[in-house]
């Protein structure tokens, strides 16, 4: 397996070597070589990671250009987002025939449509006449997809149904089957819809997800109640928001008051293909920190092995977390090299009128649980950075804290003196892991 290396360094490589069995039952180790550093990743016979760390020090593989350059951004859109599986939404978002949602897969707009037989289909959201985007947002087109520009009309299965003044297009009338919408790929897992802009992806969805389904746990968002959706804009490159999300070191410090009751020292993460699955237990057994803070009812099926915090990153741009009372998922949408939009969806156990009668304070706690949105400006933009950080920390708004951190790094990246120092051996190795996955698709050495 070949890995992209930083300019001026040796090639990266990986190999499997035998390990001495331990009390944990370790059978073999995988060494991923990043430049001169060795990623030591132990697995048990069952395949579950016991340790994920770096023997020496993890390495920051990406240079400033990867966060500042619009040329690099365009390559990411084309070579990464345009070729991999992306989270699009939930099966429950499209309950009826003709329901659709749209998204951008790198440089290609896509539309996912519920078919009359209940199946899903995905197409390039591009009219075959003059190339206009056909639909926007989310809605229902039970009668088919119609381009607003010249009213070319497509069936739900993407085939061309008809067009005005058809006599003007003799080649189309003679070969209608060749002018349907171009197909993309769509599949679902656990009620979650994924799409790929390619009609024939390099790997199917199950292969792409690797061991994620094995480590996911009982949470199924389609069975839960969704709170109001939220989104924020971050003046930073999309990768900085993801890197912050998978950074285990900042939990003690940036989130000292906003994320409490968890034993950060016992955090563990698994590499599942290009994806990242993380868990840290409760600081005090049986306290269930998120329930202690919110007072919301427990989600069915969550047992004591999940009383802490389960966090995930589905490469390249989806993150989220789950506890005993909630499940959240966010999508990081790259807008430009230094501008990002983040879409948040949060789910809790469905509530009944009886729940509010039995617990009169439930409504108050539910509203309080909506904090941490990251979309409020606690102070004006003219306030000092220290005052803004103090304000969001006091509000325990961990999303706003993450936003501030990403924007602070982005601002400093613009300096020619910017550099990244050593990374925490155990708690920031995930950043090296993520960056290597980016480089597999957008290698540094191909930059002119």
Say how far apart CA 216 and CA 322 lie, in whole Å.
10
* Same-domain pairing of 174 and 126: yes
Res 81: pLDDT: 98
- Looking at the 3D structure of the chain, how many domains does it have? 2
Say how far apart CA 378 and CA 374 lie, in whole Å.
10
The CATH code of the domain that includes 233 is 3.90.380.10
Res 445: pLDDT: 62
* Same-domain pairing of 234 and 174: no
Residue 406 backbone phi and psi in degrees, to 5: -60, -40
Res 381: pLDDT: 52
* Same-domain pairing of 196 and 214: no
Res 213: pLDDT: 96
Q: Identify whether 281 is part of a domain.
A: yes
Res 369: pLDDT: 57
Averaged over successive runs of 10 residues, the pLDDT of the chain (448 residues) comes to: 32 35 33 38 36 60 96 97 98 97 98 98 98 97 96 97 95 92 98 97 97 93 91 97 97 90 94 96 88 82 90 97 93 98 94 77 64 46 53 62 96 96 94 96 70
Q: Identify whether 283 is part of a domain.
A: yes
Domain final position from 200, 233, 265:
200
Res 359: pLDDT: 77
Q: Identify whether 322 is part of a domain.
A: yes
Q: Identify whether 22 is part of a domain.
A: no
Residue that is written with structure tokens 């790198």 in the block: 106
* Same-domain pairing of 191 and 223: no
- Residue 332 belongs to domain spanning: 210-446
Q: Identify whether 91 is part of a domain.
A: yes
Residue that is written with structure tokens 């090296």 in the block: 432
* Same-domain pairing of 115 and 219: no
Res 362: pLDDT: 73
Res 75: pLDDT: 97
End-to-end CA distance of the chain, in Å?
24
* Same-domain pairing of 338 and 430: yes
Residue 233 backbone phi and psi in degrees, to 5: -105, 135
Res 384: pLDDT: 60
Res 397: pLDDT: 82
Domain final position from 145, 178, 200:
200
* Same-domain pairing of 151 and 237: no
For 327, which DSSP code? E
* Same-domain pairing of 353 and 280: yes
**Cβ-proximal residues to 302 (8 Å cutoff; 6+ apart), any chain:** 217, 218, 219, 323, 324
* Same-domain pairing of 192 and 305: no
Q: Identify whether 49 is part of a domain.
A: no
Per DSSP, the three-state class of 162 is strand
Q: Identify whether 435 is part of a domain.
A: yes
* Same-domain pairing of 114 and 221: no
Q: What pTM did the predictor assign?
A: 0.82
* Same-domain pairing of 288 and 165: no
Domain final position from 174, 200, 226:
200
Q: Identify whether 52 is part of a domain.
A: no
Res 164: pLDDT: 95
**329-363 burial by CB neighbour count: b if 16+ within 10 A, else e?**
bbbbbbeebbbbebebbbbbbeeeeeeeeeeeebe
Are 21 and 15 in contact, with CB atoms under 8 Å apart?
no
Which whole-number Å values give the CA distances from 170 to 149, 163, 167, 339, 446, in the listed order? 20, 12, 6, 46, 45
* Same-domain pairing of 409 and 427: yes
């Amino acid at each position: 397996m070949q890995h992209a290396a930083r300019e001026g360094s040796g090639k990266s490589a990986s190999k499997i070597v035998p390990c001495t069995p331990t009390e944990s039952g370790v059978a073999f180790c995988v060494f991923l070589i990043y430049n001169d550093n060795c990623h030591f990743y132990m697995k048990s016979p069952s395949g579950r990671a016991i340790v994920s760390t770096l023997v020496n020090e993890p390495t920051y593989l990406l240079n400033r250009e990867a966060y500042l350059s619009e040329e690099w951004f365009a390559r990411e859109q084309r070579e990464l987002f345009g070729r991999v599986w992306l989270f699009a939404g939930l099966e429950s978002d499209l309950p009826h025939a003709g329901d659709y949602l749209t998204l951008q897969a790198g440089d290609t707009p896509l539309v996912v449509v519920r078919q009359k037989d209940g199946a899903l289909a995905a197409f390039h959201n591009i009219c075959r006449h003059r190339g206009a985007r056909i639909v926007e947002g989310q809605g229902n087109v039970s009668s088919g997809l119609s381009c607003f520009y010249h009213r070319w009309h497509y069936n739900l299965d993407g085939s061309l149904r008809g067009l005005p003044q058809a006599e003007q297009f003799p080649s189309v009338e003679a070969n209608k089957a060749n002018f349907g919408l171009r197909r993309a790929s769509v599949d679902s897992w656990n009620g979650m819809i994924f799409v790929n802009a390619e009609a024939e992806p390099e790997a199917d969805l199950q292969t792409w997800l690797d061991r994620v389904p094995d480590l996911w746990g009982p949470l199924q968002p389609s069975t839960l109640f969704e709170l109001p959706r939220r989104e924020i804009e971050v003046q930073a490159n999309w990768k900085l928001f993801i890197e912050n999300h998978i950074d285990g070191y900042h939990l003690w410090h940036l989130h000292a008051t906003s994320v409490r009751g968890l034993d950060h020292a016992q955090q563990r993460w698994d590499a599942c293909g290009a994806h990242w699955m993380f868990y840290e237990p409760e600081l005090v057994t049986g306290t269930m920190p998120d329930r202690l803070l919110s007072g919301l009812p427990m989600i069915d099926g969550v047992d004591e092995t999940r009383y802490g915090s389960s966090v995930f990153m589905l490469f390249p741009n989806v993150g989220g977390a789950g506890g005993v009372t909630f499940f959240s998922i966010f999508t990081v949408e790259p807008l430009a090299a230094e501008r990002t939009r983040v879409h948040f969806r949060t789910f809790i156990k469905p509530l009944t009128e009886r729940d509010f009668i039995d617990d009169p304070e439930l409504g108050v706690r539910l509203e309080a649980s909506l904090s941490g949105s990251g979309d409020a400006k606690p102070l004006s933009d003219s306030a000092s950075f220290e005052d803004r950080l103090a304000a969001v920390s006091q509000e325990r708004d961990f999303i706003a804290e993450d936003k501030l951190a990403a924007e602070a790094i982005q601002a400093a990246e613009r300096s020619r003196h910017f550099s990244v120092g050593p990374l925490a051996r155990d708690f920031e190795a995930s950043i090296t892991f993520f960056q290597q996955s980016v480089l597999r698709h957008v290698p540094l050495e191909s930059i002119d």
